[in-house]
Amino acid sequence: MCGIVGYIGRAEALPVLMDGLRRLEYRGYDSAGVALLNGGSIESRKAVGRIANLAEAIQQNPVHGKTGISHTRWATHGGVTFENAHPHSDQSGRLALVHNGVIENYQTLREQLLAKGHQFKSQTDTEVLAHLVGEAVDGAGNRTKAGLVEAVRMALRQVIGTYGIAVIHADIPGVMVGARRGSPLVLGIGRDEHFLASDVSAIVAHTREVVYLNDYEIVAVEAERFDISTVSGSGADFQVSTVEFSADAVDKGTFPHYMLKEIYEQPNSIRDAMRGRLSSEEATAKLGGLEMTNAQLRAVDRIVLSGCGTAFHSALTGEYIIENLAHIPVECEIASEFRYRNLPMDRDTLVFVISQSGETADTLAALRESQRKGHRTLGICNNVASTIARESDGGVYMHAGPEIGVAATKSFTSQLVILTLLGLLLGRIRHLSHAEGRTIISEMEKLPDLVAKTLELDAEIEKVARKYARANNFLFMGRQANYPIAMEGALKLKEISYISASGYPSAELKHGVIALVNEETPSVFIAPQDAVFDKNVSNIEEVKARKGPVIAIGTEGDTALAKICDDVILIPHAPDYLTPILSVIPLQLFSYHIGVALGCDVDKPRNLAKSVTVE
């Protein structure tokens, strides 16, 4: 959700902090602030709204220093106000702290501090944490690096909840302390300088050598060195990793928006998701990251797929694909519900959790709940150093590259490719013949080119989008594996344009949905040439009989849809198990162009965040 950037070194901190915050804008936020250690005092600047507002405030009242922390806030406790913006100070005003996460017992702690005479300036849980740390520093009277670390440790032992924090203290110059539990925090390693960030994309322009902190770890950072320990007080092992992408990978290039850039990256991201994972000789997929033998995979008699938002839609699509290719029962669970359900699962159930970031709080909780009950739980994510990647029993890395746009696009199709690979692998060790496996591989190898061909429809899709941009409601419908694609199309439109949209199985039209059909409500039908094409046509006829406008996604060469629909977009022909990957791309472009036509900030939709790291 929120973003953290910290710097300590020989250079001026402010340019590093502001550049990092701008690189984290995609995460979603409503206010921003910085705090710098300067000449024995801490100077803070805050602003409600965009980082541009913060930059203007700093221009009017400059701030300097070589140690600093900064933050973009997405409101949880307390409204969007100047007072609630981070950084927050302790009672003395000598300490500054930024925080991602939620302190669940903050009200109890706040009341205890109020009874001791503390005064608060905000309604946030974060300010309570700042006061706790400050009280521990003042109580110990130890104004050293070790004293600040111990104060952070004492405070964190009192809190219940999640946190990624960065702390500086005016009386302890040359030291910055960070800690995490449930909210990501990464240490960047430089030459005579170090960084803290909630996302490596904030600091990749300055260093590609990083340490991904684990839960309950505390790092004390100086310009020349760092030390990592735990909240319990013990030492901690760590591994220095090299970031696989460069700063150029998180730039828009010539595209007006990250979302459009990432839509157009899908031929490559899909190719990368398959790279080295298709074996024509054995006519199967190679997914070594699963850490399972064929015998272990053959013993699986049920699969559970879990995710949130777009990842849940990929799970629903994967259910159709895996059941079709492998004949294994698949069940999909929204991750936020999974941890609270008493879902009956026998010991031969295999669980997959799906998350682009690998840090989604609900999905991580589902992973831990599944493992707690003894089930092998694998991850499908895009960040090899993420918490889900590290804590899962194995999994598959998406190789989609950085996805900056809040609305997931290329990560969705990469997830579908991986689920198809999984279906092929499981199918081949059960019932699919060698010839059938070779045919599936051949079709999958064509996919990047088919996606590129689909992207050539962009100008045509933009015209259709502008035609319907002023509609207040949309219905999206599809059958079989394209039913979840209808849901995903509706979600994209809601996210990007704030238009009310809903996705349904086409056959549900007559079971209540048809009451919403009128001349002002467009219906988008995903109706490729497949086994249920005629059924989709019947549903389209029902909408047209009630004067509802219809936009259809059909298959190249189809002539029937043009006779009954107002607008038709024809995608290349592909097997049923690959069609969803092609059919979602026009819906991504459709949503994008409507959002642009309405003047929406498509890369940073209101109220949304790229990585949902709080419940």
Q: Quick check: is 381 catalytic?
A: no
Question: What pLDDT is recorded for position 474?
Answer: 97
Q: Which of 210, 245, 280 is the last residue of a domain?
A: 245
- For the record, the structure tokens of 504 come out as 């349904």
Whether residue 259 sits in one domain with residue 228: no
Residue by residue, DSSP assigns 482-521 as HHHHHHHHHHHHHHHH--EEEEEEGGGGGGTGGGG--TT-
Going from the first residue of the chain to its last (615 residues), give the mean pLDDT of each consecutive group of 10, the final group possibly shorter.
90 95 82 93 93 94 95 86 94 95 92 95 94 92 90 95 94 95 92 93 91 94 95 86 74 90 97 95 95 94 96 98 96 91 87 93 93 94 87 93 90 98 97 97 97 98 97 96 97 96 93 92 95 92 94 95 96 96 98 97 80 59
Do 536 and 488 belong together in one domain?
Answer: yes
- Whether residue 279 lies inside any domain: the answer is yes
Are 401 and 315 contained in the same domain? yes
CATH assignment of the domain containing 328: 3.40.50.10490
Same domain (yes/no): 232, 313:
no
Q: Report the alpha-carbon distance of residue 430 to residue 420 in Å, rounded.
A: 15
Per the listing, tokens 């020989």 go with 10
Bond prior to 605 in cis (omega within 30° of 0): no
Look up the CATH number of the domain holding residue 44: 3.60.20.10
Q: Structural domain of residue 544, as residue ranges?
A: 456-603
d(Cα 507, Cα 240) in Å, to the nearest integer?
A: 53
Domain boundary among 186, 211, 245: 245
Candidates 202, 204, 177; CA nearest to 67 is 177
167 with 226, same domain: the answer is: yes
Report which of 527, 483, 496 is spatially closest to residue 590, judged by C-alpha positions: 496
398 within 8 A of 414, measured Cβ to Cβ: yes
The Cβ-side half-sphere exposure at 483, using a 13 Å CA radius, reads: 16
Helices (H), 42-182: 51-60, 106-115, 125-140, 145-156
Query: Has 610 been annotated as catalytic?
Result: yes
Cross-strand bridge partners of residue 226? 221
Q: 71 forms bridges with which residues in the sheet?
A: 4, 33
Q: What gap in Å lies between CA 483 and CA 466, rounded to an integer? A: 25
User: Is residue 306 within a helix (H) or strand (E), and if so which, with residue range?
Assistant: strand 302-307
Residues 227, 79 share a domain: yes
Return the SS3 of 435: helix
Phi first, then psi: give them for residue 490, nearest 5 degrees.
-65, -40
**Are 519 and 580 within one domain?**
yes
User: Are the C-beta atoms of residues 311 and 354 closer than 8 Å to each other?
Assistant: yes
Q: Is the C-alpha dihedral spanning 343, 344, 347, 352 positive or negative? A: negative
Shared domain for 420 and 470, answered yes or no, is no
Specify the pTM.
0.82
Can you tell me whether residue 405 is helix, strand or coil? coil
In what order do the strands lie in the sheet containing 567-571? 500-505, 473-478, 523-526, 550-555, 567-571
Give the phi and the psi of residue 570 in degrees, each rounded to 5: -110, 120
Distance (Å, whole) CA 61 – CA 271: 49
Of 46, 66, 410, 610, which residue is the catalytic one?
Answer: 610
Place of tokens 């919403």: 516
Report yes or no on 611 lying in a domain. Answer: no
Per the structure block, which two tokens stand in for 419? 């689920």
Question: Which of 245, 270, 289 is the endpoint of a domain?
Answer: 245
pLDDT score recorded for residue 402: 86
- Quote the pLDDT of residue 244: 76
What are phi and psi for residue 109, nearest 5 degrees? -65, -40
Residues 348 and 420 in one domain: yes
Closest to 200 in 3D by CA, of 386, 397, 471 = 386
Both 218 and 147 in one domain: the answer is: yes
Query: What total of structural domains would you count in the chain?
Result: 3
Please count the helices (runs of H) and the strands (runs of E) in the chain.
19, 26
Report the C-alpha gap between 395 and 32 in whole angstroms: 36
For residue 404, give both structure tokens: 């900056």
Q: Kindly state whether residue 614 falls inside one of the protein's structural domains.
A: no
- Regarding whether 163 and 306 lie in a shared domain, the answer is no
107 HSE (CA, 13 A, CB side): 3
For Cα atoms 145, 147, 152, give the angle at the middle one, nearest 5 degrees. Answer: 100
Q: In this structure, what DSSP letter does residue 481 have?
A: T
Assess whether 240 and 280 both reside in one domain: no
Q: Within a domain: residue 483?
A: yes
Q: Is residue 615 part of a domain?
A: no
For residue 50, the one-letter residue type is R
Distance CA 606, CA 596 (A): 14
- Whole-angstrom distance, CA of residue 102 vs CA of residue 204: 27
Cβ-based neighbours of 196, under 8 Å, separated by 6 or more: 4, 5, 6, 7, 69, 166, 176, 178, 185, 186, 187, 188, 219, 221
Cα 416 to Cα 266: distance, rounded to the nearest angstrom: 12
